[in-house]
Structure 1
Amino acid sequence: MISAETLDKAVAAGLISQTTRDQLEVMERAVALAPEARRADDEGDEENLRLVGGGNDLFVTVGTVLLSAGFFFVLTTLLPGQTFWIAGILAVFTWGLAEIVTRQHRMKLSSSVLALIFMAAILVALALQVEASFGIRKPETIWQLLALRQTASRAGYLFLGGGIIAAAIYFWRFRVPIIAGAIAIAFTLLAFLQTAIILYDSVTTGAIAPPRLEDVPELLRAALYMPLICGLIVFATGVAFDIYDRDRRKIWSDCAFWLHVVSAPMLVHPLFIMATGQNVVFGHIAPDANATIMLTILILGFLYVALAIDRRSLLVPTLAYFGSLGIYYLVNSASDSTGIPPFALILVVVGALIILFGAGWQRIRRIVVKPTLPATVIRRLPPLKA
């Protein structure tokens, strides 16, 4: 069987096109997948994430971290106080290293680490350039903060826009999936910045009355719509990638994984607060009947969506969030009557759910999804394993 690395090298050398490469991979898998191998593949219900390429990848990742850290400390010694140049040189160094690790050898984990180092260096350089260009300093009074409107908007667009462009170029060159998550986060921050500017302009022009102190909790609650909308957009993009690559043979399914990881917190937190009436910043929630019902519906809803799209990456942040916040208040009354610490009950509930869905994920997915969705929708989702 031709390895994926060999096919990637053939595309890079111009011997075959990307379309031909994908067709060869699908054909090779179809020929090689005998009935015994097919049964083994069905029993193995992994999410097929190409995050680690094996023991050698782990070995090279350690070397990548050590080499990058050593090069950074060399730069800080040779260029003391020149943070901008240090960040720029480190970004160039990381790019050159990625030409070997990522382009030539397609190592998964070390490529992700290099991508994160590159983005961190670029963002530091952009932040320093923005600070030098616009003379931004920490405001000491509210009036100084309000006076930063024009400067902050231009600086924000330069910083976030530059980060998005750098990430897009890096992704175009190296096809590292984790960059998709970085781009999604940058676009989300850009949307927050634009929303804040629109609200500021509306207040200063008199279109919106300035909020009073007692209006702040309601204002914060209304602000939850922004991350919710951004989370839905990122989630929809991830689902679109999953539909496009439903067999999860290409890079787009790996990009979808990171998009689901980014979207999950932005969906869970606003929906949890809106449904249960919790204070915006992890305040008190009364575990009454309505909160219990709404919280149960939310958990079941996220479980169903995760099963439908076959993404445990959406479910893990959900269970972590509900386990640390929602379930705590729901089992608090039980702990008061039994004397069992709430933290212990949280561990039992969340741990049981993780083991249950981890051990029987494909079986549960088949039982729940197949009878509840029309066949036309199921044909567009990741295949249900028999």
Structure 2
Amino acid sequence: MISARTLESAVQAGIISLDQRNRLQALEHGAVEPDAGDAGSGDENLRLVGGGNDLFVTVGIVLLTAGVYFVLATMLAGQTIWMAGVLAIFAWVVAEFVTRQRRMKLSSTVLSLVFVGAAAIGVSLVADRFYPIRQPESLWQLLALRQMVAPAGYIAFGGTIIAALMYFWRFRVPILAGVIAIAATLLAFLQTAILLYDGVAAGTVAAPALETMPEMMRAALYMPLVCGLVVFAIAVALDLHDRERRTIWSDCAFWLHVVSAPMLVHPLFIMATGQDVVLGTIEPDGNATVMLAVLILGFVYVALAIDRRSLLVPTLAYFGSLGIYYLVNSAANSTGIPPFALILLVVGALIISFGAGWQHIRRLIVRPTLPTSVLDRLPPIKA
């Protein structure tokens, strides 16, 4: 192991550059993946699988974890909290070798999910023990749930976030960024529901009537939209911090984009097309069709600008299953072709086109439409 003093001497002697020293130090602390040199290929590299040996070890981890679980289920029958704690410790100990020493990517991802899953179950059971939530049998019991749900939710979601942060601080596994974002979003939903409940109980907020329920449900879409925008903004900030996609933060941004895309697409789709959230029907009038097309183009442009297919894939999947159906339904009725077949044709053609010529499309669309000052901050457009 080369000391920091030796690296500093190498910089002063002109053996390595200052940037190379910084990257070596980042690699030592796990912020840069050893194979990050592939980042210049122009593809959105997701360093998820490290090779055949990684797959082989992952199978072993799955089998070992299953074995440990069944042993614990026999030895600690009925003591679920202890089982979850031991399983979390087991995942952490194995990760000390697999992740810290060997940097096996897929195996590390599986171990991180085992740890966070066990930790989430553990803290949820602890919360239920101190603040038990039972099915209400009367209106008064339903109203009294506020005193139980709030602290139980804080312990469950907050504990999961803390456990994921501790594991990420130690092992730097990118998928935990998405896990933390999901847990934080659920915590925000809980807090919003509690504030609404307190407002109704205090009389400062009118209790919703049955006829206003659809409008209230539509207003509730602002919460996932706001959370999606926050997660998306953090992901873009990480992308701008690592334009060349060489560090672990780029992989964290990938998972944040995967999490933020559904939270952005679903509310915007409903707001733009006038879908009835309660009845699940849609009004495919002319304005809805235009707004839907604008949404699709907007998401495609943003994905191209920030060079993230991970934002576009959930978008196409959602619009393909819901939105495009109504755009092509009239054509299907006149031609006799099943709507599902047209959906497959449209989405499949888009995915293949973007997959085969992603950087070429970026050059044609993004480069002429953005000023140089903005392009210099975005991921570079490969030749």
| 2:72 corresponding residue in structure 1 | 75
Counterpart CA distance in 2 for 1:14 and 1:133 is 52
Counterparts of residues 303-322 of structure 1 (less than 5 Å) = 303-322=300-319
| 1:125 corresponding residue in structure 2 | 122
1:84 to 81, 85, 95: 81
Counterpart CA distance in 1 for 2:277 and 2:362 is 33
Counterpart CA distance in 1 for 2:169 and 2:246 is 19
| 1:49 corresponding residue in structure 2 | 46
Structure-2 change in CA distance of 1:219 and 1:14 (3 Å):
farther
Matched, 1:232 2:211: no
CA contact (8 A) 2:214 2:278 kept: no
1:25-54: CA deviations, max 9, x gaps? 99xxxxxxxxxxx9x987x43202111111
| 2:370 corresponding residue in structure 1 | 373
1:248 to 245, 249, 262: 245
Counterparts of residues 160-239 of structure 1 (less than 5 Å) = 160-239=157-236
- Could you tell me which amino acid in structure 2 is paired with residue 210 of structure 1? A
RMSD: 2.3
- Could you tell me which amino acid in structure 1 is paired with residue 364 of structure 2? I
- Could you tell me which amino acid in structure 1 is paired with residue 181 of structure 2? A
Q: CA deviation at 1:365?
A: 0.7
3-state SS in 2 of match to 1:370: helix
| 2:156 corresponding residue in structure 1 | 159
Q: Which is bigger in relative contact order (C-alpha 8 A, separation at least 6)?
A: 2
Counterparts of residues 220-299 of structure 1 (less than 5 Å) = 220-280=217-277, 283-299=280-296
Q: CA deviation at 1:20?
A: 6.2
Unaligned regions of 5+ residues in structure 2, if any? 9-17, 27-36
| 1:6 corresponding residue in structure 2 | none
Structure-2 change in CA distance of 1:172 and 1:327 (3 Å):
same
Q: CA deviation at 1:61?
A: 0.9
CA contact (8 A) 2:239 2:250 kept: yes
Aligned residues: 365
CA contact (8 A) 2:39 2:45 kept: no
Counterparts of residues 13-24 of structure 1 (less than 5 Å) = 22-24=22-24
1:342 to 339, 343, 352: 339
| 1:98 corresponding residue in structure 2 | 95
Structure-2 change in CA distance of 1:189 and 1:41 (3 Å):
closer
Q: CA deviation at 1:140?
A: 3.4
- Could you tell me which amino acid in structure 2 is paired with residue 314 of structure 1? L
Q: CA deviation at 1:135?
A: 2.2
Of 204-213 and 142-151, deviating more is: 142-151
- Could you tell me which amino acid in structure 1 is paired with residue 103 of structure 2? R
| 1:32 corresponding residue in structure 2 | none
| 2:29 corresponding residue in structure 1 | none
| 2:380 corresponding residue in structure 1 | 383
Q: CA deviation at 1:381?
A: 0.7
Structure-2 change in CA distance of 1:90 and 1:169 (3 Å):
same
Counterpart CA distance in 1 for 2:80 and 2:232 is 36
3-state SS in 2 of match to 1:262: helix
- Could you tell me which amino acid in structure 1 is paired with residue 209 of structure 2? R
1:41-96: CA deviations, max 9, x gaps? 87x43202111111111111111111111110111111111111111100000000
1:159-187: CA deviations, max 9, x gaps? 11111111110000000000111111111
Structure-2 change in CA distance of 1:228 and 1:282 (3 Å):
farther
Of 45-54 and 307-316, deviating more is: 45-54
1:75-125: CA deviations, max 9, x gaps? 111111111111110000000000010000001111011000101100111
| 1:354 corresponding residue in structure 2 | 351
| 1:35 corresponding residue in structure 2 | none
Unaligned regions of 5+ residues in structure 1, if any? 1-8, 27-37
| 1:63 corresponding residue in structure 2 | 60
3-state SS in 1 of match to 2:99: helix
- Could you tell me which amino acid in structure 1 is paired with residue 218 of structure 2? R
| 1:135 corresponding residue in structure 2 | 132
Counterpart CA distance in 2 for 1:19 and 1:137 is 58
CA contact (8 A) 2:39 2:245 kept: no
Of 266-275 and 59-68, deviating more is: 59-68
CA contact (8 A) 2:39 2:244 kept: no
